[in-house]
């Protein structure tokens, strides 16, 4: 029995060249330029037959990046967290809320016999 780790590293030039011979040939690629509102430039690569997106997330700041350097897309506005009450107030007016409250109170009074 031999000692040591079962996982061994390799050194450069110790065996078959790592690359195309082991993994196959890489698909032909094209590089596309994108710019974000912070003037960051990124250049991801896509396969020649792939559909290229109009927007790409900037790897430096996370803002959307577009293909037009002079007119990058604007940052998307994040909606703040809304409570359940805020959503209800969007759907109902104060008058509707008062009507619903009065109906609920009337039902409670009927059950208690008042």
Instruction: Tell me the per-residue pLDDT of 90-104, one tens digit each, with 9 for 90 and over.
Output: 898 989 989 999 999
Instruction: Tell me the per-residue pLDDT of 4-63, one tens digit each, with 9 for 90 and over.
Output: 555 666 666 555 555 556 667 778 999 999 999 999 999 999 999 999 999 999 999 999
106 known ligand binder: no
- pLDDT surpasses 70 at 73: yes
62 known ligand binder: no
Kind plus residue range of the DSSP H or E element containing 65: strand 64-66
- pLDDT score of 45: 94
User: How many whole angstroms separate alpha carbon 53 and alpha carbon 82?
Assistant: 32
Exposure string over 48-66, b if 16+ CB within 10 A, otherwise e: eeeeeeeebebeeeebbbb
The shares of helix, strand and coil residues in the chain, as percent rounded to the nearest 5, are 25, 15, 60
Torsion from C-alpha of 101, 102, 107, 113, nearest 10 degrees: 130
User: pTM to 2 decimals?
Assistant: 0.51
What residues contact 37, with CB distance under 8 A and at least 6 apart?
63, 72, 73, 74, 75
26 known ligand binder: no
Question: Which residue from 52, 49, 56, 53 is spatially nearest to 27, judged by alpha carbons?
Answer: 49
User: How many whole angstroms separate alpha carbon 83 and alpha carbon 88?
Assistant: 9
80 known ligand binder: no
């Amino acid at each position: 029995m031999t000692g040591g780790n079962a996982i061994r590293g390799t050194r450069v030039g110790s065996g078959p060249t790592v690359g195309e011979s082991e993994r196959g040939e890489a698909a032909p690629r094209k590089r596309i330029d994108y710019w974000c509102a912070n003037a960051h430039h990124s250049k991801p690569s896509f396969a020649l037959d792939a559909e290229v997106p109009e927007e790409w997330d900037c790897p430096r700041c996370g803002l959307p990046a577009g293909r037009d350097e002079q007119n990058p897309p604007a940052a998307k506005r994040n909606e703040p967290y809304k409570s359940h009450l805020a959503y209800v107030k969007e759907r109902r007016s104060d008058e509707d809320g008062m009507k619903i409250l009065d109906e609920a109170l009337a039902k409670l009074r009927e059950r208690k016999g008042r």
